[in-house]
């Protein structure tokens, strides 16, 4: 039960916008999520921290790699027996939607780098029959992955021995603009939410025209 208590504490501490997809009407731009006003009235700009991880092709990638790209991000692990297969199926829908766009990249961070070696990630990606340059499966130090998930992407993720597969984590998919600002979320287990998310991708792309 301890992992459930820890997960609840994380969820309570997260902003309310994590619970729902952060969309908006066609007339309004997508919101910028994470910036806040401090007690002095100053704007605190939210940033995704600098990182260097390794993808399924055993190539080092960093936040610099994705400059000037719209990013679609999720957190998973290949042996996940619960929500990951559902989320990956929806990520594949998104992949099919953006495959010919050129300015959108998909990024899946494993939260189980001990078991998800580079060959494991490569095989997993191969089975999805994807372009490895369009969809990156990233592996890095577990503590860094957990911190970037919880603190930067606002995605609850933690190691939990009593949880299915040993980890408890959110099935949210995150949308980042070309400046790596968070512009929306969707529930990766809900096809309708993902359909709205794909419309948000289209809307974000159009804003750069």
Residue 27 pLDDT level (bands cut at 50, 70, 90): low
DSSP letters spanning 80-119: -SSSHHHHHHHHHHHHHHHTTTSSEEEEEEES-TTT--HH
Residue 161 pLDDT level (bands cut at 50, 70, 90): confident
Residue 41 pLDDT level (bands cut at 50, 70, 90): confident
Sequence-distant (≥ 6) Cβ neighbours of residue 189 within 8 angstroms: 83, 86, 87, 90, 171
Residue 41 CB coordination number (10 Å): 6
The whole-number average pLDDT for the span 110-131 is 97
pLDDT at residue 130 greater than cutoff 80: yes
- 3-class state of residue 67 by DSSP: coil
Select, from the ranges 1-10, 144-153, 161-170, the one with the highest average predicted confidence (pLDDT): 144-153
d(C-alpha 51, C-alpha 31), whole Å: 24
**Chain-wide mean pLDDT for the chain?**
88
- 3-class state of residue 149 by DSSP: helix
Q: Between 6 and 203, whose confidence is greater?
A: 203
Residue 6 pLDDT level (bands cut at 50, 70, 90): very low
- Helix residue ranges per DSSP H, the chain: 2-13, 84-98, 118-127, 142-147, 191-207
pLDDT at residue 23 greater than cutoff 50: no
pLDDT at residue 123 greater than cutoff 70: yes
Q: What pLDDT digit, counting tens, does each position of 66-98 carry?
A: 999 999 999 999 999 989 999 999 999 999 999
pLDDT at residue 51 greater than cutoff 80: yes
CA-based torsion, 168, 170, 173, 179: positive or negative:
negative
Ordered by where they begin, the domains of the chain are 2-207 (3.40.30.10)
| Tokens found for residue 208 | 């750069």
Share of the chain above pLDDT 70, in %: 87
Residue 5's pLDDT is: 38
Residue 76's pLDDT is: 96
């Amino acid at each position: 039960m301890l992992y459930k208590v820890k997960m609840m504490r994380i969820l309570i501490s997260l902003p309310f916008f994590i619970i729902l997809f952060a969309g908006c009407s066609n007339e309004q731009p997508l919101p910028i999520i994470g910036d806040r006003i401090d007690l002095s009235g100053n704007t605190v700009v939210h940033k995704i921290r600098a990182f260097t991880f390794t993808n399924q092709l055993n190539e080092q990638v960093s936040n610099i790699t994705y400059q000037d790209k719209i990013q679609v991000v999720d957190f998973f692990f290949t042996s996940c027996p619960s929500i990951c297969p559902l989320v990956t199926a929806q990520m594949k829908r998104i992949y099919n939607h953006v495959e010919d766009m050129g300015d959108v990249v998909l990024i899946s961070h494993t939260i189980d780098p001990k078991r998800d070696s580079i060959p494991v990630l490569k095989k997993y990606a191969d089975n999805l029959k994807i372009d490895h340059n369009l969809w990156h499966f990233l592996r890095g130090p577990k503590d860094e992955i957990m911190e970037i998930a919880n603190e930067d992407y606002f995605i609850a993720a933690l190691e939990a021995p009593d949880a299915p597969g040993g980890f408890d984590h959110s099935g949210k998919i995150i949308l980042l603009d070309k400046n790596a600002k968070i512009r929306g979320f969707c529930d990766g287990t809900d096809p309708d939410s993902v359909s709205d998310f794909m419309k948000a991708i289209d809307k974000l792309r159009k804003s750069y025209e």
